Amino acid sequence: MNAMRDRWTDEVPDAAVGPGETAAAGRSASGPTVLRIALGSQLRRLREEAAVTREVAGDAIRASTAKISRLELGRVGFKERDVADLLTLYGVLEPAERSAFLTLAGQANTPGWWHRYADLLPAWFETFLGLEQAASVIRTYELQFVPGLVQSRDYARAVTSLGHTDPEEVERRTELRMRRQEILIGGGPTLWAVLDEAALRRTIGSPSLMRAQLDHLIEMNRLPNVSLQIAPLRYGGHAAAGGPFTILRFDEPDLPDIVYLEQLTSALYLDKRADVEHYAMVMDRLCAQVDPPARTESMLRAIRSQL
């Protein structure tokens, strides 16, 4: 636990990949969302080094300044022709280097597995799915519900039914949540989650369903890459009282940590160093304040016995 906390209190690294270090090797497993962000970041760096404005870059690919901004933020897909034209404009002429960029662009345009659920998902949540799938460490605090990555199927179905009534849609959304959880199996990312005790005592569906969910949490907490902590009601206020949030960390050196804040109809993605460090500090304080993971199983069993 201390080692994990030390890693998150280190200074968030600046982007460290230069124009000559853009080989696509080793990136194919990152997922299209992260690849788009990484490629956009590299193109922005090349543009700035070449002293080219967004307006001039837009003219080069017959697009608006806003389109260049979206490309550099990784929010839209890349056309190979556009990437090639931008590389020429930025003075990247060496064939091997251009080939690495174009290969990365092709990988970034590959649809993620969640594409089959695109009719159910707003664009802002598709972005989160891509980031979640590519993260190396996920830290999350949840206040109202059990976090999606550790929900049982029946609990996920019951939560989904709170906002949707069509049975087929509920089942597809439930299946989507189960697919998300597959990243935790077989050496996936580290998940470090803090659950408010209120979420565990709030009956979703039925008492028997909640008991099964608590059993599921006990099993998930035994995974080597999962650490669950509970913020007890007896503690009163705590560092994360402002609401739920998720911090995502990535292995890619040019991709910053990202804080995800979900709202009813949208989400915020924070990647400025000051914002990320603030949320990391809040999470560190919360984890130090509440009971350690070693006590989680006994607390879950105690709550289960009272349902």
Rg (CA), the chain: 21
DSSP code of residue 150: G
Q: Which residue has the higher pLDDT, 175 or 39?
A: 175
- Residue 45's pLDDT is what? 92
Of the pLDDT bands very low, low, confident and very high (cuts 50, 70, 90), residue 95 is very high
Q: d(Cα 6, Cα 284) in Å, to the nearest integer?
A: 9
Task: Return the SS3 of 33.
Answer: helix
Report whether pLDDT(176) > 90.
Answer: yes
Where do we find the tokens 């089942």?
A: 171
Q: Is the pTM of this model over 0.85?
A: no
Q: If you average pLDDT over residues 141-146, what whole number do you get? A: 93
Where do we find the tokens 């307006």?
A: 55
CB-hemisphere CA count at 13 Å for 8?
28
Question: Phi/psi of residue 196, each to 5°?
Answer: -75, 135
Report whether pLDDT(125) > 70.
Answer: yes
Give the strand order in the sheet containing 226-231.
226-231, 190-196, 137-142, 245-249, 258-262, 267-270
Report whether pLDDT(19) > 70.
Answer: no
Report whether pLDDT(11) > 80.
Answer: no
Task: Return the SS3 of 270.
Answer: strand
Which among 137, 290, 141, 149 has a CA at the least distance from the CA of 217? Answer: 149
